[in-house]
């Protein structure tokens, strides 16, 4: 039964904080493992194979941004950044590195648990559904495996990028405001600003940068749409 538990890797150089977070998570029935530096975190991602990573930014050897980038090269496990920095720049940089959400220290245990559950629910819930594919020329979005096939090559997008692309592609030629996208993809738990959407759109566009009969179009002062040429 133990192997069926959701596994959470907690990465924080402060041993006491890591142990406290582990206590919160284990009370919710999760299995945890702790790493206290970046290199250990990367190795544990390979051996422990967590279902989620709670990742502190300020680490002694390899900082959290670089750890996040390297974890993204291993797989698409959801990542929540833990940071004492509340500035917009730090939040945006974390998202650009591939994080799915962030929590600013000090945080209440209930807030952290809610964020973890929300991300796991959005990520895992969709994977449990029946196979469903969204198909366009040169593009296949498999909502069961979270795999995007683009010009015949598989792209493994982080969960938020995948969900955002899927949402727009499911609603071609419809314009959605940033606020609507935030509500639909991040949910009511998210407390960031609308620039989060811009960051994720930028990252998606960088991966889908060929000439296709569809595109993610910016509607200035409004939001975005998945534009399909007639």
What are 56-87's pLDDT values in tens digits?
988 888 888 889 888 887 777 899 988 876 65
Helix (H, G, I), strand (E, B) or coil at 225: strand
Q: Please check the confidence at residue 6 and state whether its pLDDT lies above 80.
A: yes
Confidence of residue 204 (pLDDT cuts 50, 70, 90): very high
Query: Residue 221 CB: number of other CB atoms within 10 A?
Result: 6
- The more confident residue out of 193 and 132 is 132
How high is the pLDDT of residue 60? 83
13: tokens are: 């150089």
Taking a C-beta distance cutoff of 8 angstroms, is the pair 116, 109 a contact? Answer: no
How high is the pLDDT of residue 128? 45
For residue 209, CA distances in Å to 104, 217, 230 come to 34, 13, 20
How high is the pLDDT of residue 107? 86
Mean pLDDT of the chain: 84
The b/e string for 40-77 (b: 16+ C-beta within 10 A; e otherwise) is: bbbebbeebebbbbbbbbebeebebbebbebbbeeebb
What are 105-156's pLDDT values in tens digits?
888 888 899 989 888 887 765 444 444 788 899 999 988 778 899 998 998 7
Full set of structural domains in the chain with CATH? 2-127 (3.40.50.2300), 133-228 (1.10.10.10)
Helix (H, G, I), strand (E, B) or coil at 34: strand
Mean pLDDT, to the nearest integer, of 199-218? 91
| pTM reported for the whole predicted model | 0.59
Alpha helix (H) residue ranges in the chain: 15-27, 38-48, 64-74, 88-96, 109-127, 159-170, 178-181, 195-207
């Amino acid at each position: 039964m133990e192997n069926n538990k959701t596994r959470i890797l907690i990465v924080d150089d402060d041993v006491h904080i890591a142990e406290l977070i582990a206590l919160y998570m284990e009370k919710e029935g999760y299995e945890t493992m702790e790493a206290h530096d970046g290199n250990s975190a990367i190795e544990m991602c390979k051996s422990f194979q967590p279902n989620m990573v709670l990742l502190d930014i300020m680490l002694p050897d390899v900082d959290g941004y670089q750890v996040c980038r390297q974890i993204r090269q291993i797989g698409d496990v959801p990542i929540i950044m833990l940071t004492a920095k509340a500035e917009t720049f730090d939040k945006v940089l974390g998202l650009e590195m591939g994080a799915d959400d962030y929590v600013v220290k000090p945080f209440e245990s209930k807030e952290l648990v809610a964020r973890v559950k929300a991300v796991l629910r959005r990520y895992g819930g969709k994977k449990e559904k029946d196979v469903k594919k969204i198909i366009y020329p040169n593009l296949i979005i498999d909502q069961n495996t979270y795999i995007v096939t683009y010009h015949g090559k598989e792209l493994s997008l982080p969960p938020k990028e995948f969900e955002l692309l899927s949402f727009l592609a499911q609603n071609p030629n419809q314009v959605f405001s940033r606020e609507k996208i935030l509500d639909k993809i991040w949910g009511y738990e998210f407390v960031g600003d609308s620039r989060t959407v811009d960051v994720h759109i930028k990252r998606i566009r960088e991966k889908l940068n060929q000439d296709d009969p569809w595109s993610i179009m910016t509607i200035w002062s409004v939001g975005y749409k998945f534009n399909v040429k007639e």
